[in-house]
Each structure stands twice: as C-alpha cells, then as structure tokens.
Chains A and B, each alone.
Chain A
Amino acid sequence: MDGVRVGKRMIGAQSPVTIGWENIPEVEGGPVKRFIFTWFQPFFWFAFIAFWYYAPNSLATASTGVTIGIGFRLLLIGLEWINPRFKSWQITWKEFVTDLFYVGLGYTILRIVDSYIGSDVMVKAVQSHFHWESFRWFVGLPLLVQAFLIAFIFDFGQYWMHRGMHNWYPLWLPHSVHHYITQLNVNKGAVGNPVELFLIGLGVGGFFDFVPRAFMLAGAIGGVGAYQHINVRFNSPRWWRFLFNTTEHHSLHHSQDFEATRSNYSNSFIFIDRIFGTCIDGEAELLGMEGGRRMSIPEQMTYPFTEGWKTLKEKFGRVSTVAVPAE
C-alpha cells in the first residue's frame, strides 16, 4: 500500500483510508433523502440552541436535557438503520449490548467515582481557591458567549488529554482499549477501559460561575461530538466539517493505519486540530488494532493492566544471561 502524503506524513500505508473530501462518497438516493441527510445536523444544532436559549426556566432544567439526550440518541440509532455509512459497521444484538454496558457504567459506577475525584470536585476546589467572586464577571457575558467558552474550554482540555493519550505510554494503555473497536455507532464513544473513561471525562468546562442556561447551551453547542462515532452517511456542509468533528474525521482516527490514528483528536471542534496541525480530512472503514481483532469485555477490563505489567517486566525484569561460546 502506497498511502497518501499529507504534509510530511504518509497516511494509509498500512491500511486503506480515503483522504480528501472530494474522494468521500456522498449520500445516494432521491432529492428528499439527500436534503435530509445534508441539513439534519445543522438543523438540529440550531434547533437545540434556540430551544435552550428561549425555553422558560421551568423547562430549561437538567432533567429536560437528559430526556432530550436520550430521545435524540434513539433518533440517531434509527438513522443508522436507515442510512448506514458502512454495512460492516451495522449494529448487531451483541454490539448493542456491549455498547450499552459501557453506557451503563458511565451512568452508574463512574458517576460515583466522579463525585469523589472527578472534574467537578477539581472545579470546586479551584473555585474556592481563587475565590468565587473573582469570576462573577463571566455571568454578565452574553449567553451564547458563555456557552461557547464553556464548550470550547472543555473541548480544548479534551484535545490535549486525548493527544496526551496517543503520545505518552501510561495514558495510551487505558486509551488503547477504545481503539480496538472495529466499527462505529452512536454508543461507541462510551466503550473503553473504565480508567480511560474516567480520564477522558476529566474535562473542565470552565472555572467560572455561569448562568445555568449557559451550561445547557454549551451542551447543545458541543453536542456535535455525538456525531463523531455515528454510523450514518451525511453530506455535511463545507462550513460544518471545517468547524466540527465528523464521523469521517473520527473514523480516520480509528483506522488500522497507525499514522492516521495520530490525527483528529478533538471531541467537538475540529478547528482545534486545524490550529495545531493534527487535522486530516478523510475517512476509513477498516478500524481497530492488530488487523481488526475484536476485544472481548473481560479483556477490555484488564488489558491496560496486563499490558502494563508485561512492559514493566520487560523493562525491569531479570535479564536472563545466555552464555555465548567464544569462537
């Protein structure tokens, strides 16, 4: 495989990838289908922002957010059935149960852990250290500015945490499990070793006091990250894919090609990758590690520890001395 030169890097020398928007297939079908799958993402993005901006206080609550989140996720799962990007990524009962298990961990045990040592605890500690009052000016900013800053600061932190995971072995170990997934769908973002799920959740949405509505708006603005694992083919408008992470970008990040995986680290805002030179526009179908070996749940749970132990033994273990006969 020759690969494609992107800057100084050869992408796709180990596994097939498609580089460049002009080479990515478009939605096939009639004008209605093409219209829906072109404007679906922008429509819902603006609709959710408008909702959280204008909803009365009684409705603009966290529980409404949870209900909308679950409902929208179900809609996306439906879209995956109607218009899958790749048949080889189509959901099966086993994949659905596996994914839901990790989603469940996120809503239960990881939430308990987070309540003790998560980012919220850190935020509160920092806020009390720097004195709450000193940031009250943030509340006076326009709502959309507050919301964008919360979403951007969160994503900026995620970008560096994720990039760190791909560049520092102790962080790579827990993250590597997520790279063993062999297909993408809306729930795949939740799949990974719990240590990594905790680490990647250590996003700080800002140390500021904010209007509660701004927090919901930040969720709507940064919520485009939900599309990065989706198995749906969209004709994303040019401006959309310039600003936001898409499933194309993220599939390339999950490719079996090593160089391709070292790109597109952001969660929602791909322009952060563009700023730091790690963005590659393209997509891949063959995903995973070790030639696409699917990892079982027990191995996903233990892999970082067993691999870490192996590495430690190799590095610090007793070296067996082999007598070399003198010639």
Chain B
Amino acid sequence: MTIRHAWEWTSVHGTAIAFSSPAAGTSLSEGYRVNLRFIDWIWHVRGSLALAPGQTGDEAFDRIAPVFAQAGTGHERAGDTLVFHKKDPAAQDKMAVFNSGTLWVEQGAAGPVLRYHLISRFLLFCFLAPLLFLAFAQLTLTVAKFQKPEAASASAKSDKAKKAGSKADAKKPDVQLNPIDKFLGAPAPDNKKKDGEKGGKRDKKPSATPAYVFASFFAILYIIGRVLEDRLVRRLFKRRLEDQGLSAPSSAGSLPVSLRTT
C-alpha cells in the first residue's frame, strides 16, 4: 500500500510518530518523541471486524464501497486497502462525522479481518468546545468586572441626581392595569419593584452561567458522540459486510445521483 500520512504508517505498523529537532543534531530515534496514540483516540476511531469465512478482501470492499457513494466523498482502492476522504458531507451521510480514513484487510489468527482507522476533526472540535465556552465564561466575568467600576462611578455621580430625582419618582404615577385587564382578573403589577427588577431582555446583566452550562453540555456530548459514532460506524460496516438487506447505499437522506458533487 502507499503510505501517505504518518498516521497510516502508525496504524499499519504500530510504531510511534517521531518528531526530531534538526538543530539538535540528534538522530530520529533519539529525538523528541511524541506518541500521538496516547491522545489521538480523541478524534481517531479504530476498530476491526472479522470477515465471514471465505470472504476475500475484494468481496468485503465491494460490499462496503457503497457507503462511500455520497456527496463530497472520494475513495480509492489499492489491493487490500481502501482510503477515503470527505469534504462537506451531507447531513444524512452516515459517516458525515469523519473526514478521512483507511480500511484494510489483513490476516488475523482466526482468519481475515477488516481493520479501519477513521479520523474526525468534528470529534476534536466537540472535545475542545468546552474550553471555548470556558473562555467565554472568563470573558464574561472580565466584562462584568469592567462594568462594575463603571457602574459604581456612575452611581456616585447620580447620587445627587437621585436625591433630586426622588421627587420626580414620587411624582411618577404607579402603573395601573387597564380596566379590561382588571375585569379579566390579571394580577396588578408590582409597583414596589425598581426599574432594574422589572425582568425581560432589557434588564439582563452579563452572567457566566450560560457559558458554564454550554461547556458542560459539550463535554457530555463529546462522550456521547465518541461512543455513539464508534458504534454506529461499526454497525454500518458490519451490516454492509453481512449485507443485511442493504443493496443500495445506506443513507436515508442521500441526494439523488444527479445532485452529487462526486
């Protein structure tokens, strides 16, 4: 097979990706080594499925190939290896979450095995999204701090104005319900409340709570997605290999052929 990416090398040969500093003059093996496999499970999905007895690699790929007949998807087969890549896949593409990947057939202890290694930048995005929202929370707190001194100085300035204004406020008539609303039994407005307590969009103050809530949402969604998408793609490949009544490319919302870009 043609190895195009470091991760393909890693997936096939199981060795670490090594980075070395040329300036240090050290050899590759002595260089600074980062084994991405410690963290790349975040956005890499790997798995394997045993082929049916007697099923060859070609037959397996013939059965699986239709899942790549989707808008924005390209794939190449070379011997026992299939490489695919996706750009802007359709929402209903069952592998929409993955950008690229490699599937290959190798001889296992109990017979031929289909192995796959899929990459999802979207999983990585979801993994990092909580950090973004935590940053928004910090920004909100900073803005709130920035607004506080402003408000304090404004309130000091307005102390005098308040004293003067209190007379005007006293003159301000209480809000009375329209007679129709009184007749229909709507509760009278609470005139004791200050303007700031009125509620509604106009009176909202910056709060970091929504940012924290969304950060936790995305953390939970990442865990769900990492497990779910792993299982779904495994089920998809398994069904294709077993060909359980899936003669056509499996996507409820796939576009008509005439509309496909590839």
Residues of chain A at the chain B interface (Cβ within 8 Å): 53-57, 60-62, 86-90, 92-97, 100-101, 103-104, 107-109, 111-112, 115, 120, 123-124, 136, 139-143, 182-183, 205, 211-213, 215-216, 286, 291-297, 299
Contacts and interface: CB of A to CB of B under 8 A. Distances in A.
B92 A92 contact: yes
Given A123-B202, A296-B88, A57 B190 contact: yes
Contact of A89 (B89, B200, B253): B253
Interface string B79-94: 0000000001111100
Contact of A97 (B126, B206, B211, B252): B126
A142 B91 contact: no
A63 to B, nearest CB: 8
B253 A62 contact: no
Interface in B175-220: 175-178, 180-181, 184-187, 189-190, 198-204, 206, 210-211, 214, 217-218
Given A56-B187, A215-B200, A297 B125 contact: yes
B151 interface: no
Contacts of A139: 175
A108 B214 contact: yes
Given A94-B97, A108-B211, A212 B92 contact: no
A143 B133 CA distance: 38
B68 interface: no
Contact of B259 (A143, A213, A291): A291
A108 B202 CA distance: 16
Contacts of B185: 54
Contacts of A109: 136, 139
A105 to B, nearest CB: 8
B178 A140 contact: yes
B186 A54 contact: yes
A97 B224 CA distance: 11
A93 B225 contact: yes
A294 B173 CA distance: 56
Contact of A112 (B89, B139, B199, B202): B139
- Of B71, B178, B224, B225, most buried by chain A (CB within 10 Å of CB) is B178
Nearest to B89: A294
B253 A88 contact: yes
A295 B96 CA distance: 12
Given A88-B253, A104-B217, A108-B133, A62 B122 contact: no
Contact of B186 (A108, A143, A291): A143
12 contacts: A57-B190, A61-B199, A62-B199, A97-B221, A97-B225, A111-B210, A141-B178, A212-B198, A215-B199, A216-B199, A294-B91, A295-B88
Interface in B94-120: 96-97
B214 A94 contact: no
A132 to B, nearest CB: 9
Contacts of A216: 199-200
B261 interface: yes
B236 to A, nearest CB: 13
B228 interface: yes
A94 B72 CA distance: 16
A18 B176 CA distance: 50
Contacts of A213: 186-187, 189
B143 interface: yes
A99 to B, nearest CB: 11
B202 A120 contact: yes
Given A87-B253, A100-B221, A297-B125, 8 more contacts: A54-B186, A60-B199, A100-B218, A108-B211, A140-B176, A213-B186, A292-B71, A293-B261
Given A62-B203, A107-B214, A90 B133 contact: no
A101 B136 CA distance: 13
Contacts of B52: none
Contacts of B36: none
A104 B181 contact: no
A199 B71 CA distance: 32
B140 interface: yes
Given A92-B92, A107-B214, A182-B91, A97 B122 contact: yes
A123 B214 CA distance: 29
Contact of A293 (B88, B139, B140, B221): B88
B255 interface: yes
- Of B72, B200, B229, most buried by chain A (CB within 10 Å of CB) is B200
A98 to B, nearest CB: 8
